[in-house]
Amino acid sequence: MKQIKNIFWIILTIPVLLIMSGCEKEDPFKDNLEPNNSRNEAFELTLGEQIDASIAKGDHDWYSFSIETNGIIDKALIEINNLTAEMELTAVLYDSQGNQFGSFTGNAGINMNISLSTRTSSYYIEIYDKNSEQEGKYELTITLLQANDSNEPDDTFENARIVDSYPSGVITGTILVNASEDNQYGDFEFFILLIDLNKTVDFTLTPTADDIKMNYKIFNADRSVVVDETEGTPGQILQASVGDGSGGSMSRYLRVGATLGETGVGNYTISFTETDIK
């Protein structure tokens, strides 16, 4: 009888040992975002929501995110904060097709802020330690800044802002992406100027920073060119007159653009007045 009892306790003990041997030590650098080690496995981010992530040695973290701005140019801020001190992170940006268009590497343990100009699209971001030897943690947040002005959309002929009374008062605007003959896909601002017989319309175009170069171009109602692009020097105020008073009342398109300085934001003011032709 004693021998049977001993066998019974051996049988009970085996499952316990098996369960204990199956326990693994938790990896502090494995987060709940895995697997996200390739573009096909990218973790989908929600704009404005912070995620807590980890990097193991040799690990690459991939994320996807989409930005909807109804065609208006805006800026998204990519923030990588609270890095483990030794990590020297690299962040690589890709378009919706997987084509790389930007790469940024920060100093060890230093937060990274990346500004992305966008209309509407989907993107990928890949994050990894520069030397693939450090492991640690970081926080990631992507926020749409709603940085453009309240006149938008006004960056095409079809969406031009109508100016039909003078003096117009001061109109403020923002250009987020270089816009000129050299960059036809930039953040232009269009105005339609309604000009009465025997009148001209004068405008004053003023950048609000000394490193912004403003430019303008004037078109007929049929979109043929009246005045070729005229560009100022950094910080220069541009002034010109539109219309010659002949042929009755008329309309003209005024296209405003800018080449931005270090801040990456082109704030400006413009005002319109009316002058009699004698």
pLDDT in tens, 128-184: 998 878 889 999 999 999 999 999 999 999 999 999 999 999 999 999 999 999 999
Residues 265 and 231 in one domain: yes
Q: 161: part of which helix (H) or strand (E)?
A: strand 161-163
Residues 176 and 89 in one domain: no
Residue 5 lies in a domain: no
Task: Please indicate, yes or no, whether residues 133 and 52 belong to a single structural domain of this protein.
Answer: yes
Sign of CA dihedral 232, 233, 238, 244: negative
CATH of the domain at 179: 2.60.120.380
Number of neighbours of residue 113 by Cβ within 10 angstroms: 11
Regarding whether 74 and 131 lie in a shared domain, the answer is yes
Q: Kindly report the pTM of this predicted structure.
A: 0.80
Report the pLDDT value the prediction gives residue 47, as an integer from 0 to 100.
97
Q: How confident is the model at residue 147, as a pLDDT?
A: 94
Please give the average per-residue pLDDT across 42-62, as a whole number. 94
Give the single-character DSSP code of 39: G
Structural domain boundaries, residue 192? 161-276
Structural domain contains residue 16: no
Same domain, 132 and 186: no
Residue 35 pLDDT more than 80? yes
User: Stretch 231-240: mean pLDDT, rounded?
Assistant: 97
**73 Rama class: left (phi>0) / alpha (psi -120 to 50) / beta:** beta
Number of domains into which the chain is organized = 2
Count of helix runs (H) and strand runs (E) in the chain: 1, 18
User: Which residues, at least 6 apart from 276, have a Cβ–Cβ distance to it below 8 Å?
Assistant: 198, 199
User: Which tens digits make up the pLDDT trace of 55-112?
Assistant: 988 899 999 999 999 889 999 999 999 999 988 999 999 999 999 999 999 988 899 9
What is d(CA 10, CA 3) in angstroms, rounded to the nearest whole number?
11
- Percent of the chain, pLDDT > 70? 87
